[in-house]
Amino acid sequence: MSERHGVLETWPTGKDVTHFEDGVKYQQTIPENKNFARALRIADEQGITLSQPRAGVALLDEHIALLKVLEQECDLLPTTIDAYTRLNRYEDAAVGIQKSLEAGTSKLNGLPVVNHGVAACRHLTESLQKPLQVRHGTPDARLLAEISLASGFTSYEGGGISYNIPYAKRVTLEKSLRDWQYCDRLIGLYEEHGIRINREPFGPLTGTLIPPFMSHAVAIIEGLLALEQGVRSITVGYGQVGSLTQDVAAVKALRELSHDYFHQQGYDDYELSTVFHQWMGGFPEDEAKAFSVIAWGAAVAGMAGATKVITKSPHEAFGIPTAAANAQGLKASRQMLNMVRDQPFPACRAVDLEVELIKREVRAVLDRVFALGNGDIARGTVLAFEAGVLDIPFAPAACNAGKMTPVRDNAGAIRILEPGAVPLPDDILAMHHDFVAARASVERRPASFQMVVDDINAVSHSKLIGRPE
Ligand SMILES: CCC[C@H]1O[C@@H](n2cnc3c(N)ncnc32)[C@H](O)[C@@H]1O
């Protein structure tokens, strides 16, 4: 039995996509203004920042109603997939649908696209006017990809690292990287039939004090793995850390490094865009304070020249936002994006130094990943995680070393308290040490894990740096 046949058999709705050509034919009926890749290409050419929320509820009609509210305020639409579907637990998703019907409200934290199937999801994509993307967190996303793409979604988030390490405990990288090569190959097949589907590695990872160089390394690896399979529209992403100069530098470095590595590997016929995720850590409960965090994220995304910003809502501290709250986050973000649109962040020495630092750090890590894989990027990635060369702070995955410990410096930038086995050059390690020591002396306390804990809680307590009381 072919792999594809096996994938389609894992749930009855797999029958809906038996003939790949049917999905291609359907995608050819979608007007170009609803193609996600095209919208990003145009925005990037124009140098504007598009806005996109996260959103997903259990039942189809409610999800359509939700997206109709949001599409008034955003440029690009999501469909967030529920947690059961992300773990291929379609039976549990079916129970969640039933419970939602009985309760008259969503009992799932996203739309169970696999359970709903192609006909229903085509009704969804046809009901909306803006490009739609599937956002999820699925280590084995093969069936979800088959059904989503045949249903008219034109962008697919995730990757074999970014949807495993932060989202799963016991899924091996060998398996998730291989399953994501299937997803990328499927999108490569759509590309060969003239349908351009956008791919967006999940930049923020655990969203907890991730040093820019580490998330950039993962984004570039997943971009290369996608290019290898024929994907040609790639959005690399980054989660805001809250330091203005580090965030502006991170977006600049991410774009430039992605081009460097994609060209180095022989690709030049791709479209690249960047996405900036508004603060992914803990939020203040007070809605006015939450709007401040949201607006700060929008301001920096715009000034940094990100192609897209993923917005938050004033309900972030509580859970899934109502449509109204989600729309408020979009409106606050749009206001700010409009106000910063004509004032890109000016070139300055602090940003330039941070760009150079991030570039050196990314190169040190990726050089080792490529060396370990001896030219095979997927294999190098598996070995790099085993060796702790790639190491994602606070990730649940058993295959992640969890040795590298981040902490903020005295100005709020993310630095390294403990490098673990991440192969940074000695002079850079010394620089991180000095950054952290300077904060320790100002705070008159030793550099310690307590600082890390204080930083994790800082934003929800209306600060950026977790200073002692
Ligand atoms: C990247 C995942 C974390 C972020 O994703 C948001 N999120 C998750 N599920 C939904 C949903 N069903 N609707 C709207 N936002 C959602 C959370 O709030 C958080 O910001």
Q: Which pair of tokens denotes residue 396?
A: 């649940």
pLDDT confidence bin for 469, thresholds 50/70/90: confident
- Whole-number Å distance, alpha carbon 302 to ligand 1 midpoint, is 22
pLDDT confidence bin for 127, thresholds 50/70/90: very high
pLDDT in tens, 138-159: 999 999 999 999 999 999 999 9
The CATH code that applies to domain 1-340 is 3.20.20.240
pLDDT in tens, 156-194: 999 999 999 999 999 999 999 999 999 999 999 999 999
- Report ipTM (2 d.p.): 0.99
Q: Tell me the DSSP string of 114-168.
A: HHHHHHHHHHHHHT-SS-EEEE---SS-HHHHHHHHHTT--EEE--TTTTTTTT-
Would you call 333 helix, strand, or coil by DSSP?
helix
The domain limits of the chain are 1-340
Q: Whose CA is nearest to atom 14 of ligand 1?
A: 55
Would you call 237 helix, strand, or coil by DSSP?
strand
Does the CB atom of residue 393 touch ligand 1 within 6 A? no
pLDDT of 4 strictly over 80: yes
Q: Which of 111, 93, 80, 82 is nearest to 10 (CA)?
A: 93
Q: Which of 338, 329, 357 is nearest to 243 (CA)?
A: 357
13-27 mean pLDDT: 98
Q: Which pair of tokens denotes residue 113?
A: 């696209």
- Whole-number Å distance, alpha carbon 320 to ligand 1 midpoint, is 6
The reported pLDDT for the residue numbered 124 is 98
Q: Which residues are catalytic?
A: 86, 157
The reported pLDDT for the residue numbered 36 is 98
Q: Which of 136, 132, 145, 216 is nearest to 179 (CA)?
A: 145
Does the CB atom of residue 82 touch ligand 1 within 6 A? no
Does the CB atom of residue 321 touch ligand 1 within 6 A? yes
What does the mean pLDDT of the chain come to?
98
Q: Which of 83, 181, 203, 197 is nearest to 132 (CA)?
A: 197
Mutate to test the pocket of ligand 1, among 134, 277, 316, 320 (most ligand atoms within 8 A of CB): 320
pLDDT in tens, 72-125: 999 999 999 999 999 999 999 999 999 999 999 999 999 999 999 999 999 999
pLDDT of 1 strictly over 80: no
Mutate to test the pocket of ligand 1, among 66, 74, 79, 80 (most ligand atoms within 8 A of CB): 80
pTM passes above 0.95: yes
- Separation between Cα atoms, residue 199 and residue 227, nearest integer Å: 10
439-465 mean pLDDT: 98
